[in-house]
A and B are shown apart, each in its own frame.
Chain A
Amino acid sequence: MTAVQERSPMPQEREANPAMDAPDRPIGYGRVQRKEDPRFVRGKGRYLDDIVLPGMLHGAILRSPMAHARIVSIDTTEALAHPKVHAVVTGKDLEGLNLAWAPTLSADVQAVLATDKVRFQGQEVAFVVAEDRYSARDALELIDVEYEDLPPVVDVRRALDADAPVIRDDLEGRTDNHIFDWEAGDAAETEVVFARADVVVSEEVVYPRVHPAPMETCGAIADYEPVEGRLTLYETSQAPHAHRTLFAMVAGIPEHKIRVVSPDIGGGFGNKVGIYPGYILAVVGSIVTGKPVKWVEDRSENLMSTSFARDYIMRGEVAATREGKILAVRTKVLADHGAFNATAQPTKYPAGFFSIFTGSYDLQAAHCSVTGVYTNKAPGGVAYACSFRVTEAVYLVERMVDVLAAELGMDPAELRLRNFIKPEQFPYKNKTGWEYDSGDYEPALRMAMEQIGYDELRREQAEKRGRGELMGIGVSFFTETVGAGPRKHMDIVGLGMADGAEVRVHPTGKAVVRLSVQTQGQGHETTFAQILAEELGIPPEDVDVVHGDTDQTPFGLGTYGSRSTPVSGGAVALAARKVKDKARLIAAAMLETRPEDLEWEKGRWSVKGDPSAGKTMAEIALGAHGTVELPEGVDGNLDAEVTYDPPNLTFPFGAYICVVDVDPGTGKVHVRRFVAVDDCGTRINPMIVEGQIHGGLADGVGMALMEFIGFDEQGNCLGGSFMDYLIPTAMEVPDWETGYTVTPSPHHPIGAKGIGESATVGSPPAVVNAVVDALAPFGIRHMDMPCTPARVWEAMQGRPTPPI
């Protein structure tokens, strides 16, 4: 692969590719303003809570105040007597409909409303439907639930103790809290390498529980029409088609009678992949009352009950030579999955793509084993822009490489440079079974080092250390694995992870592209218009992008795991090429020549050797729908449809460097600078790419410094509001400095690799490595996130403590 090693000096780039309203706007790829933004910046977005249907009722959920308790009785009499209440639904009622339990995305079941026990604080216990949302909430207080306390399992390290209470006694034959054991790599081979290595470092690395916390919380409006038996379900969903299929399976409503609409989505980050009890309850509410029912959770409900992320305790080990050649990496992981195993990931991957923990390094051996357990906490697991647990994997290996650098007394950047997979080794088969498609790592890290002035910073640091000032420089280099994925390996509840696209060119040459993926703010309406525009040579503003409505779009699995551009982007490009090929046949008919005699220049088929004789896409479109006599086998439209089954995943990568200053008196960390050099292959819209990176970097600073869903001994959630669950603001993050290289994916139709999660994956280790580097004078080699002032100060006192 050849890397295009240009820095990205943004101002110049802006000049070269001015915004869309400039006369020389790009047709195809380039920096154009987002087509969807006019409606968002003018407050004209249409989110779930903006939708009001005639006669609509409102639902609210009564949640468990306890982490683990038996339900003795539920008395709904008073709530039902409330003048504005239309229905109160309990687990018992759902049992009658065979809906009390629903399948999760991980071959488990989850209670829709608790029947026997509550298993985490915030679990759904009863559902009230009332005339307005205020009355619905008032009525929740009128429901009387009697609980009998049970001892909760809060400490994940004790979940497998012989005397630990059994959380899932609903499952037959359950005698413990064990969910799964899973491994990758070769344990024996790895042991051999470790046994003869000069140096072995070992550290327990915790990636604590965090939450995606999208700006818009989750919600649904169900509108069941009993005469025809049709259900229209508006949902905050990242995967409308998958949801429709699952609803058909769970609720017994035939799939063709279900329409799922996912309107504008105010952030997802994985939080809106799963099907929550609230969605199902809105449907039940609508069936029971015969009216549309809206349910929208509040902030605390979102934080306490919906998909959390991470919660991995990882024992990491690295084997190396004295000279700094990394030989092998291995890890044992204890994974807290909460009360129900509801993680959203491909079936064969219970720990997601965690086995990419071998990172960007050429190793002789690697092995990981992951044990998943139940605890009395909210279910979920794969969420928060993690690329199916690549975040945990990258954090582990990048933290451990720094631990090794400290042991060897080597510069962490230098250590990485010495161990990278070389460009000529791609496609590279790693020791846990992945085939990295393309990469050229060294130029990316060198660019980041040059951009931040690495050597100068190290000099400054040495000087400051002499004066007792604490400054840290953190390096992280990540390889992502995204774009799931090849159908033969990857499915979610049996649905293959391919995605469709339909392209139609209208008679006037304007086009529509229909997608199975669903934007949550990523700018799909622009990016996908640009992909089509690039292929067909028409302006992006002439392309309408339709998504989020199962009645209007082809089947596919939706947007998460940075898969939209790698999967649906491939589908759009291939569909566009079909249209282009067909346009050639039609143009030939129009020009009364043979298709072989035509050549393509962007937007136009013309006669070889006579460029003046040609037809533009608009002319061809009119011809296709008009009266031109079409060649045999060519029908009268310019439409095409493709379902793209990716041959492999794509492997974006990047080099991140962070500089922090730590106040020695208070432990407060200030992030001074952050340089991010990303390689996502082909860059469709650099502005959108940068936007995705900026957002992910802020996420990373948040997780590294402050985000944390903790629990007390009783299992009470301590992160249930934005006063307790802190997300960073503009004040905590620096001005991002970005750069890029371009190493296209060799197997992808347009060479694009996906960028949605790179920065969330790559930035936490850069920040933590910087903090630990700042604390080196205290003899600290590792501290766990979140690096809050108190925790940093404790580390400075020689007692860095795990957060859980």
Chain B
Amino acid sequence: MQVPAPFDYARATSVAEALELLERHGEEARLVAGGHSLLPMMKLRLARPDWVVDINDVAELRHITEEPGRLRVGALTRHAELLGSEVVGRLFPIVHDAERVIADPVVRNRGTIGGSLAQADPAEDLTTVCDVLRAEVVIAGRDGERVVAMPEFHRGPYETACAQDEIVTEVRFPVRAGQGSAYEKVERRVGDWAVAAAGAALVLDDGGAITEAAVGLTALGLEGLAVEAAAVLVGQRPDEALFAEAARLAAAASAPVEDGRGPVDYKRHLADELTRRVLRTAAARAGALTAVQGG
């Protein structure tokens, strides 16, 4: 059995209490949510917090709330809850696409959206999803709350705008009429982290032209959105040639590294292939199936 280095444990029941505990126990205190990123690292002794502050009893962090123009998701919402949510699937099918291929049911029953974004693993799926949906993250600290957009929140692998003594409390997704979104991932086996993945969201106007576009990549060395790829889409009508051009640009923007999951050229090829696939699905979901030429 792998066992972590010695640590102490405290359990919070409110955001205020969790913040207080983080402050009291100092720099080597860590929040634990689902624990599916933190605990494996602790067992391998790669993470060695002195204190673990458990937020699983903080009920105010666990909700999915639909409001006019936006969907608010509490940071402690489990992967399984996102996957089970009808409203999430209806407004943002990309989230269901991604959730279906995040880990396995055991992990999804515990892992949370807040933990995922805070962990910021380079192969983590929800960061790309939130990027593409232009979500905002609410961070609570001693001095109150602040709301940051994804580009500001996600600073790179394992690095976010949330400081050690702060808590991600909520993720806010803007709802756009006429939006279609999709996510696709290649994994070596179910439950594996992504070899590569891509996500896209398109907004079509009544005439079927693309008015907004976002393309993101996972595990492909691209931080933030593939802006050039999105730029060629806007103002155009969806078709295969357009998607191929956007996919080419997304692949050009990727900077994958070789590892056990594959060589660089394969991963760059996947950036292209998967971008095309998610654009097709996103456009179809936006109601433009018939408008796609040669798709």
A133 touches B189 (CB 8 A): no
Q: In the complex, what's the smallest C-beta–C-beta distance from B277 to chain A, in angstroms?
A: 7
Q: Which residues of A contact B (CB under 8 A)?
A: 133-134, 137-138, 141, 296, 298-300, 665-668, 705-706, 710, 718, 723-724, 726, 728-729, 731-732, 788-790, 793-794, 797
Which residues of B (139-158) have their CB < 8 Å from a CB of A? none
A185 CA to B124 CA, complexed, in Å: 54
A138 touches B189 (CB 8 A): no
12 residue pairs of the A-B complex, CB under 8 angstroms, read A668-B186, A706-B188, A706-B189, A718-B260, A723-B192, A723-B193, A724-B260, A731-B190, A790-B261, A790-B263, A794-B263, A794-B266
Which residues of chain A have C-beta atoms less than 8 A from B1's C-beta? 133, 296, 298
Which residues of chain A have C-beta atoms less than 8 A from B6's C-beta? 134, 138
Which residues of chain B have C-beta atoms less than 8 A from A668's C-beta? 186
B260 touches A789 (CB 8 A): no
Asked whether A793 and B188 contact (CB < 8 A) given A133-B3, A665-B277, the answer is: no
Q: Does B195 contact A (CB under 8 A)?
A: yes
A789 touches B5 (CB 8 A): no
Q: In the complex, what's the smallest C-beta–C-beta distance from A723 to chain B, in angstroms?
A: 7
Which residues of chain B have C-beta atoms less than 8 A from A728's C-beta? 189
Which residues of chain B have C-beta atoms less than 8 A from A731's C-beta? 189-190
A732 touches B261 (CB 8 A): no
Q: In the complex, what's the smallest C-beta–C-beta distance from A209 to chain B, in angstroms?
A: 14
Q: Main SS of chain A's interface residues?
A: loop
Which residues of B (104-155) have their CB < 8 Å from a CB of A? 104
B186 touches A729 (CB 8 A): no
Cross-interface CB contact of B2 among A300, A667, A705, cutoff 8 Å: A300
Which residues of chain A have C-beta atoms less than 8 A from B54's C-beta? none
Which residues of chain A have C-beta atoms less than 8 A from B262's C-beta? 788-790, 793
Leading 7 A-B pairs by shortest Cβ distance: A790-B262, A731-B190, A665-B273, A298-B2, A790-B266, A726-B189, A666-B186
> Residue of B at shortest CB range from A667?
B266
Which residues of chain A have C-beta atoms less than 8 A from B273's C-beta? 665-666
Which residues of chain A have C-beta atoms less than 8 A from B195's C-beta? 789-790
> Residue of A at shortest CB range from B184?
A666
Q: Does B62 contact A (CB under 8 A)?
A: no
Asked whether A793 and B269 contact (CB < 8 A) given A718-B260, A724-B260, the answer is: yes
Q: Does B82 contact A (CB under 8 A)?
A: no
Which residues of B (251-278) have their CB < 8 Å from a CB of A? 260-263, 265-266, 269-270, 273-274, 277
Which residues of chain B have C-beta atoms less than 8 A from A788's C-beta? 188, 261-262
> Residue of A at shortest CB range from B186?
A666
> Residue of A at shortest CB range from B6?
A138
**With contacts A724-B260, A728-B189 known, what are 14 further pairs, Cβ within 8 A?**
A134-B6, A137-B3, A298-B1, A710-B260, A726-B188, A726-B189, A726-B192, A788-B261, A789-B186, A789-B188, A789-B262, A789-B266, A790-B266, A793-B269
Q: Does B191 contact A (CB under 8 A)?
A: yes
> Residue of B at shortest CB range from A301?
B2
A298 CA to B266 CA, complexed, in Å: 34
A729 CA to B193 CA, complexed, in Å: 15
Which residues of chain B have C-beta atoms less than 8 A from A133's C-beta? 1, 3
> Residue of B at shortest CB range from A721?
B44
Which residues of chain A have C-beta atoms less than 8 A from B5's C-beta? 138, 141
A666 CA to B195 CA, complexed, in Å: 10
A137 CA to B104 CA, complexed, in Å: 29
Q: Which residue among A300, A718, A789 has the maximum number of chain B CB atoms within 10 Å of its CB? A: A789
Asked whether A729 and B3 contact (CB < 8 A) given A665-B273, A794-B263, the answer is: no
Which residues of chain A have C-beta atoms less than 8 A from B192's C-beta? 723, 726
> Residue of B at shortest CB range from A297?
B1
Which residues of chain B have C-beta atoms less than 8 A from A141's C-beta? 5, 45
B191 touches A729 (CB 8 A): yes
Chain B residues within 8 Å of chain A by Cβ, number: 26
A552 CA to B283 CA, complexed, in Å: 71
> Residue of B at shortest CB range from A727?
B189
Asked whether A299 and B190 contact (CB < 8 A) given A790-B266, A794-B263, the answer is: no
> Residue of B at shortest CB range from A797?
B265
Which residues of chain A have C-beta atoms less than 8 A from B3's C-beta? 133-134, 137
A732 touches B190 (CB 8 A): yes
Q: In the complex, what's the smallest C-beta–C-beta distance from A538 to chain B, in angstroms?
A: 43
A666 touches B189 (CB 8 A): no
A728 CA to B265 CA, complexed, in Å: 26
Which residues of chain A have C-beta atoms less than 8 A from B269's C-beta? 793
B270 touches A666 (CB 8 A): yes
Q: Which residue among A296, A300, A705, A788 has the maximum number of chain B CB atoms within 10 Å of its CB? A: A788
**CB 8 Å contact bits of B41-68 with A (1 = contact, 0 = none):** 0000100000000000000000000000
A706 CA to B260 CA, complexed, in Å: 11
A3 CA to B209 CA, complexed, in Å: 68
Q: In the complex, what's the smallest C-beta–C-beta distance from B258 to chain A, in angstroms?
A: 10
Which residues of chain A have C-beta atoms less than 8 A from B2's C-beta? 298-300
> Residue of B at shortest CB range from A702?
B189
Which residues of B (1-50) have their CB < 8 Å from a CB of A? 1-3, 5-6, 45
Which residues of chain B have C-beta atoms less than 8 A from A724's C-beta? 260
A364 CA to B261 CA, complexed, in Å: 44
Which residues of chain B have C-beta atoms less than 8 A from A667's C-beta? 266
> Residue of A at shortest CB range from B185?
A666
A773 CA to B172 CA, complexed, in Å: 49
A794 CA to B273 CA, complexed, in Å: 15
> Residue of B at shortest CB range from A300?
B2
A500 CA to B5 CA, complexed, in Å: 48
Which residues of chain A have C-beta atoms less than 8 A from B277's C-beta? 665
Which residues of chain A have C-beta atoms less than 8 A from B270's C-beta? 666
Q: In the complex, what's the smallest C-beta–C-beta distance from A444 to chain B, in angstroms?
A: 31
> Residue of B at shortest CB range from A296?
B1
A275 CA to B262 CA, complexed, in Å: 36
A793 touches B191 (CB 8 A): no
A155 CA to B262 CA, complexed, in Å: 20
Which residues of chain A have C-beta atoms less than 8 A from B193's C-beta? 723
A133 CA to B189 CA, complexed, in Å: 33
Q: In the complex, what's the smallest C-beta–C-beta distance from A448 to chain B, in angstroms?
A: 27
Q: Which residue among A141, A726, A729 has the maximum number of chain B CB atoms within 10 Å of its CB? A: A726
**CB 8 Å contact bits of B82-93 with A (1 = contact, 0 = none):** 000000000000
Q: In the complex, what's the smallest C-beta–C-beta distance from B243 to chain A, in angstroms?
A: 13
**CB 8 Å contact bits of B171-192 with A (1 = contact, 0 = none):** 0000000000000001011111
Q: Which residue among A296, A710, A724, A790 has the maximum number of chain B CB atoms within 10 Å of its CB? A: A790
A706 CA to B261 CA, complexed, in Å: 10
Which residues of B (225-250) have their CB < 8 Å from a CB of A? none
A793 CA to B188 CA, complexed, in Å: 12
B190 touches A793 (CB 8 A): no
Which residues of chain A have C-beta atoms less than 8 A from B260's C-beta? 710, 718, 724
> Residue of B at shortest CB range from A724?
B260
Asked whether A729 and B266 contact (CB < 8 A) given A134-B3, A718-B260, the answer is: no
> Residue of A at shortest CB range from B45?
A141
A137 CA to B45 CA, complexed, in Å: 11
Q: Which residue among A296, A667, A668, A724 has the maximum number of chain B CB atoms within 10 Å of its CB? A: A667
Q: In the complex, what's the smallest C-beta–C-beta distance from B294 to chain A, in angstroms?
A: 15
Which residues of chain B have C-beta atoms less than 8 A from A666's C-beta? 186, 270, 273-274
Q: Which residue among B188, B192, B270 has the maximum number of chain A CB atoms within 10 Å of its CB? A: B188
A724 CA to B6 CA, complexed, in Å: 27
Which residues of chain B have C-beta atoms less than 8 A from A134's C-beta? 3, 6
A732 CA to B192 CA, complexed, in Å: 12
A797 CA to B6 CA, complexed, in Å: 50
Q: In the complex, what's the smallest C-beta–C-beta distance from B125 to chain A, in angstroms?
A: 15
Q: In the complex, what's the smallest C-beta–C-beta distance from A693 to chain B, in angstroms?
A: 22
Which residues of chain A have C-beta atoms less than 8 A from B266's C-beta? 667, 789-790, 793-794
A793 CA to B193 CA, complexed, in Å: 19
> Residue of B at shortest CB range from A801?
B263
Q: In the complex, what's the smallest C-beta–C-beta distance from A144 to chain B, in angstroms?
A: 17
A81 CA to B274 CA, complexed, in Å: 57
A638 CA to B119 CA, complexed, in Å: 68
A705 CA to B192 CA, complexed, in Å: 14
Which residues of chain A have C-beta atoms less than 8 A from B104's C-beta? 729
